[in-house]
Every structure is written in C-alpha cells, then in structure tokens.
Amino acid sequence: MEKHIEVSMLCQIYGKLLTEKQCELINDYYNNDLSLSEIAENNQITRQAVRDIIKKGENKLFEFEEKLQFMKKMLDQEKQIQAILLELNKLQETSSDKKIEKLLNHIRKELICLN
C-alpha cells in the first residue's frame, strides 16, 4: 500500500492518540496536500520543525498499528466480505427459488452495510 494512503488511514484510526498538533500537521501534509513549507508558514514554525512533528507522529501511528493491528483487521474483514459477496452472486445465479433469492439479497445488503 502506498505510504500516503497508509498514513492517512492510520491517522483516521489512531489520530486521537496523537497530540493535536501532530494530527493537524499530518492531516495537512497527507490529506490536504500542503507542502512542508506551506505548513510551516501557516503555523509560524520552521520547515524542519514541521518535518520532525510529522515524522514523530508517523512513527507513533506505525507503532500503534504494529501493536493493535486495527487497520490490518479492517482490511482483512473487507476482503472476506468481498469473497462472501462473490459466493452469494454465484449462488443467486444458479438458484431459481424466489425465497432463496430474497434471502440472498437480504444477506448481501447486510454485508454491504458492514463493508
């Protein structure tokens, strides 16, 4: 997975565990696509200070994920749901029973809500 996407997802999951400033600067850098210089100017700090804050925040995010693995579990769950949906489609294509079709549609809707 691309680092920008990974850090952005980790920040959504664990952002409340970072300092407010770390979360804000990571969000500006990864989600708002601001440069280090732009962030430094907006916060009246040096570019190096912005880089240090972002790096420390990133390290914490990766540490949280290594220990808790919420993102990994979420991505694994999404893969499982997609596999189940594919199997439901196969079942529905081969079935002509209206009750089974109705039940499969209900299950599909419930799985989509989880996804």
Cα–Cα distance between 95 and 100 in angstroms, integer? 7
Question: C-alpha distances in angstroms, 101 versus 4, 28, 58, 86?
Answer: 41, 47, 47, 14
CB 18 within 8 A of CB 57: yes
Which amino acid belongs to residue 76? Answer: D
Query: Which band of pLDDT confidence, cut at 50, 70 and 90, is reported for residue 9?
Result: very high
Task: Supply the pTM of this predicted model.
Answer: 0.81
Which one is the CATH code of 3-68: 1.20.1090.10, 1.10.10.10, 2.70.150.10, 1.20.1250.20? 1.10.10.10
The per-residue pLDDT for range 55-80, each reduced to its tens digit, is 999 999 999 999 999 999 999 999 99
Cα–Cα distance between 109 and 59 in angstroms, integer? 38
Domain-wise residue ranges, the chain: 3-68, 74-114
